[in-house]
Structure 1
C-alpha cells in the first residue's frame, strides 16, 4: 500500500520533497492560487553554501550563528548547513542552471553578514524562480499538483492525537476533504501582515494558524526580519533590491552622498539585516532619503535583470546611479516548532520552509540561508516518510469546525496597526496598545462555505497578529530582529536559550539546551 502525503504549498521546500520522495509515495500538492505565487518565486538572492577553498562548513556555521544573535539551535544549524551543501553540489552536478564564470566555475556572490563569497545565483537575481521552474519540470509521475486549492483546516483522528488530512476549498466554492498518511505544511510566512513587504500577496499566515488550531506548537514568533532595501518610489513598493547588490560594491547613502553605515558596524553596508534596517529607519525618521549608490557595480543590468526591470517600472533612471530604498517585512524566523525530521508536535503533521522553525535562523536570518533550508527540510521529510512504517489510516475522524471568526476590519487597517507597534522598533507601551486593539475588534462567525478568500486571509492574519504581539511583549529584551526601545540591551541572564511557545490558547516559556550559549554580536546588535 502506497503512502499518501498531502503537501500544502508549492515553493522550494515542497518541490524538494516531491523530488526526493520514493516512487511508491502518492504526493498531492495543494497550492492556494498557482505555482507562480510563492516567496520562492520572488527570491532574488541565492543559496548559501561553502565552495571555495578558503571557505568551509564551519565558517558558514559561524556566520549563521553571528547573525542569529545567540538564539540559534547550533546542532540543527550545523546539520542543515552540512546537508545543504551536499544538495547544492548534487544540483550543480545534475546541471541546475547556476551562474558560471567564463572558466565555467560557479559565480559566487557575497551578501550581508557573510565572511566569504558563497552565494550560488541563477539568472543573476532570479535564483528562486529558476530553481522552482527547474524542479517543476522534473516532477515525478507520482506527484499530483492541484492549483486554486485554498486549504482551510487540518483533519485529525477521532482521538485528536494525529493529523490525518486537510479540507480545502475549490475556486467554485466546493469543500473537499482529503485524507492522508501525513500532511506537510509548506505555506511560507506572513509578510502580508505589514503594508511594506517583499512577500507574495498570498502570504497571510494561513499555514501557521491552521497548525495552531490543530494543536501544534508555534515558537519564536517575535522574530520578524525586515529587509533593509526595498525599492520604494512615491510611496509605492515595487519589490526587493537584493543584498547581492551591496555584495558587489553598492553603498547606502543619503541625499547628500553620506555613507550612512560608516562607523556603525565593522561590515558596514554588509552588516546583519537587523542592524542595517534599524539604521535606515532612523535615518528616514530624521528626514533623510536613503539611496543605493550602484555606481561601483559594473554591468548592473546584466547582473541584476529583475531589479533593473523593477527600476524601469518605477521610472528610476539607473544612469543616475541611485536607487531609492527603504526597509520592509521580509522573513519570519519563528514558526511551527519541528524536530530534526521536520515533524511538528502533532503526529502526522510536518512543516518545511519558512512556516517551520528549525532553529537555523535564530533571532535574525543570515542572507540566502532560506532556500538552503527549504531544500534540506523538503528532502528530510521525503526520506523520513519514504522509510516510515505507516500504520493504517484511521477510518474515523473528528469533525473540525467549519466556521471561522472573521474580524470586521480591513487588511490595510491591520497592516498599519502592526507597522506602528510591531515593526522594526517596538516598546511595551505600543505593544500593549496594539494587544488591546486586536482584542477588542468586532467579529462575526462565518461558515467556510460562505467566506470569501479575503475573509479567510484576514481572519488568519488577525489571529496570528495577536500571537506575535503577545510574544513581543513577553520578550522584554532586544535580540536580533526583535528590538525593544524600552529594553535596548540583550539580556542573556534572563533570556539566553529561552523560547516562547504558543499552543492552543496557552503560552509558555521553555528552555532549549541546544540554543548556543555564547555571546556573538553583542557589540553591534543594537546600534
Structure 2
C-alpha cells in the first residue's frame, strides 16, 4: 500500500508551486499521465501579470481583472491575487528565478490586452511558463516522488473524505495510492476542441474525477478562446502570444483592413472574447485573418519561440503576416474551491486551471493564469500544512478483476461536437442536442469505472467533461464574457461596467494580507 502526506495529480506550475510551498519533511508524490514536462504551463508564452512599475497600482490590476471577467469574479480572491502576486514574484526572484531585464537589471514589463499598464513579466522572451516550471522543478525534484505515465481512474472516497486515487500504469497494472491530502492539478480542457493551444492531454479529466466523486463544480460554461493561433492548411498548429499585439501587431484581412477598428475602444488589445468573436465572424464570411507584425521591433529576438514555430510551419516572416484563427485556450470554470484550494470534499484540493477560484470570472485577463497557479498553489500548501493527520482506513480492494470494454465517442467525435455546439457562439437548440446525446452515452457507464481499459476510461472522462460543460452552457441563459449565446443578449455593455467598477474601487475594499 502506497501512503503519502500529499499526493498531487499533475505536473504543471500549480502542482510544482504546491510542492515548493509545503514544509520540508513532507512525503510528497506527484503523478502524471504523460511526461512530467507535459503541461499547458510549459507552453505559456505570454508571461505573468504583476504590478511592478511606479505608475501602476494593485487597484488598477484589480479593476482590469474584474472588467475582463465581466464582473463575474470573486472579488476577495481577485484582491488577494493582485496584492500577493508582486510579493511572491519578488520572493521567487530572490531565490534565483530570473525574468527578462534591461541593461540596468530592471525587470522588463510587457503590455497585453485589457491591461491598463505594462505589467507582464517574461522569461526567455516568450517561454515564461517553461522557465517557471523548470525553476520550481529544480527546487523540488529531491523532495518529490515523481510517477510518469500513470493515469488516475478515480478518486477514493471513504466516509465522505478523499483518501487517495486509483491509478493504472502503461502496462495496465492497477494501484491504490493513499494520502492525507489529494490535490487535483490536472489542467484544462482545451483538447476537447479541434483547435486549441493546449497540450494533447488537456481533456478535462479533473472535472470528471471530481464530479464522479461528488465534488461541486462551477462556471464550466466559461471557456476562453485565444484569438491568435497559428494556422496551417486550416489547422491550428500553435499559439501566437497576445504579447505580440502588445508590442504593436494588429489584426488584418488579406486586403490589409484592420478588423478591430471600431469594434472596441481598445481595438487589437480588447478582451479576448471580443477579439475572438470578431475573427470568427470574419472567417465565417470567408475571409482569412492575419497578424501584421511590421510595427513590432526586433520580432525574431523578442519572440524566439513564436519565430521558431512560424519557420517550422513555413510562414515567411519577411512578409510580416502571420495567419491566425481562434482556438480553445483556457477554462475559467472548474472544480469549485475556496481561496485555499479546498473542494467540497474534505482533504481534496484543486489548483491551477482545474480549479475555479473565481478570480477569472467570465473571461480571464491575459497573463493572470500563471499568477493564479503560483498564488493559490502557495495558499493550498499552507492550508495542508496546518491540518493534523487523520488515520486512513482503506477498504478492501482487488485489482484482479477482468477489465471490460465500452463503446464511447472517439476524441475526434467529441472535438467536432464541442466546436459545432459549444464553441465561440452557442444557442439553445445545439446545446440541448449535445446534452441529450452525451447523457445517453454516459448512462451506459458502470459505477466501478476502474474496470474499464485505459482508452475507455480516457473517453469516459472526455465525454463526462464535455457533458458537464454543455449542460452548464445550456443552463446559463445570457451572454457574458466567453459564454456567448446567439439567442440571448450580452448582459451588460462594457462601457457601463467601467463606471460601476470605478464606483466600487472608491469604496473600502477588504484586505486579506500583503
Task: Give TM-score, length-normalised by structure 1.
Answer: 0.90
- Paired residue for 1:358? 357
Tell me whether 1:143 sits opposite 2:107 in the alignment.
no
Q: Is the 8 A contact 1:426 1:483 kept in 2?
A: yes
- Paired residue for 1:378? 377
CA distance in 2 between counterparts of 1:175 and 1:93 reads 43
Deviation at 1:124, TM superposition (A): 0.7
- Paired residue for 1:284? 283
CA distance in 2 between counterparts of 1:315 and 1:336 reads 40
- Paired residue for 1:16? 17
Deviation at 1:455, TM superposition (A): 2.5
Q: Alpha carbons of 1:373 and 1:467: their partners in 2 closer, same or farther (altered >3 Å)?
A: same
Residues 447-458 of structure 1 correspond to what in structure 2 (within 5 A)?
Answer: 451-458=452-459
Q: Secondary structure at the match of 1:291?
A: strand
Gap regions ≥5 residues in structure 2: 503-514
CA distance in 2 between counterparts of 1:291 and 1:208 reads 35
Q: Alpha carbons of 1:326 and 1:30: their partners in 2 closer, same or farther (altered >3 Å)?
A: same
Deviation at 1:448, TM superposition (A): 6.1
- Paired residue for 2:428? 428
Q: Alpha carbons of 1:231 and 1:395: their partners in 2 closer, same or farther (altered >3 Å)?
A: closer
CA distance in 2 between counterparts of 1:169 and 1:66 reads 43
- Paired residue for 2:247? 248
Q: Is the 8 A contact 2:49 2:371 kept in 1?
A: yes
Deviation at 1:92, TM superposition (A): 1.9
CA distance in 2 between counterparts of 1:449 and 1:294 reads 50
- Paired residue for 1:152? 153
CA distance in 1 between counterparts of 2:326 and 2:288 reads 12
Tell me whether 1:327 sits opposite 2:326 in the alignment.
yes
Q: Is the 8 A contact 2:63 2:501 kept in 1?
A: no
- Paired residue for 2:512? none
CA distance in 2 between counterparts of 1:465 and 1:236 reads 21
Gap regions ≥5 residues in structure 1: 493-515, 522-527
Deviation at 1:308, TM superposition (A): 0.7
Q: Secondary structure at the match of 1:197?
A: coil
CA distance in 2 between counterparts of 1:140 and 1:21 reads 13
- Paired residue for 1:410? 410
Deviation by residue 1:255-289 (Cα, 9 ceiling, x = unmatched): 11101000111111000000000000001011111
Q: Is the 8 A contact 1:407 1:459 kept in 2?
A: no
- Paired residue for 2:70? 69
Greater per-residue helix proportion: 2
CA distance in 2 between counterparts of 1:345 and 1:320 reads 53
Structure 1 range deviating more: 408-417 or 324-333? 408-417
Q: Is the 8 A contact 1:43 1:128 kept in 2?
A: yes
Q: Alpha carbons of 1:445 and 1:421: their partners in 2 closer, same or farther (altered >3 Å)?
A: closer
Q: Alpha carbons of 1:124 and 1:162: their partners in 2 closer, same or farther (altered >3 Å)?
A: same
- Paired residue for 1:313? 312
Residues 163-174 of structure 1 correspond to what in structure 2 (within 5 A)?
Answer: 163-174=162-173
Q: Is the 8 A contact 2:222 2:331 kept in 1?
A: yes
Structure 1 range deviating more: 40-49 or 394-403? 394-403
CA distance in 2 between counterparts of 1:107 and 1:177 reads 47
When the two chains are superposed, the root-mean-square deviation of aligned CA atoms in Å is: 2.3
Q: Secondary structure at the match of 1:81?
A: helix
Q: Secondary structure at the match of 1:4?
A: strand
Q: Is the 8 A contact 2:224 2:272 kept in 1?
A: yes
Deviation at 1:3, TM superposition (A): 6.7
Deviation at 1:363, TM superposition (A): 0.2
Deviation by residue 1:173-192 (Cα, 9 ceiling, x = unmatched): 11111111010000001111
Task: Give TM-score, length-normalised by structure 2.
Answer: 0.92
CA distance in 2 between counterparts of 1:57 and 1:445 reads 48
Structure 1 range deviating more: 119-128 or 83-92? 83-92
Structure 1 range deviating more: 101-110 or 385-394? 385-394
Q: Alpha carbons of 1:407 and 1:459: their partners in 2 closer, same or farther (altered >3 Å)?
A: farther
Q: Is the 8 A contact 1:5 1:180 kept in 2?
A: yes
CA distance in 2 between counterparts of 1:371 and 1:417 reads 30
Q: Secondary structure at the match of 2:414?
A: helix
CA distance in 2 between counterparts of 1:517 and 1:253 reads 28
CA distance in 1 between counterparts of 2:202 and 2:141 reads 27
Q: Alpha carbons of 1:64 and 1:92: their partners in 2 closer, same or farther (altered >3 Å)?
A: same
Deviation by residue 1:379-408 (Cα, 9 ceiling, x = unmatched): 112111112222222354799999898443
Q: Alpha carbons of 1:63 and 1:445: their partners in 2 closer, same or farther (altered >3 Å)?
A: closer
- Paired residue for 1:30? 31
Q: Is the 8 A contact 1:407 1:442 kept in 2?
A: no
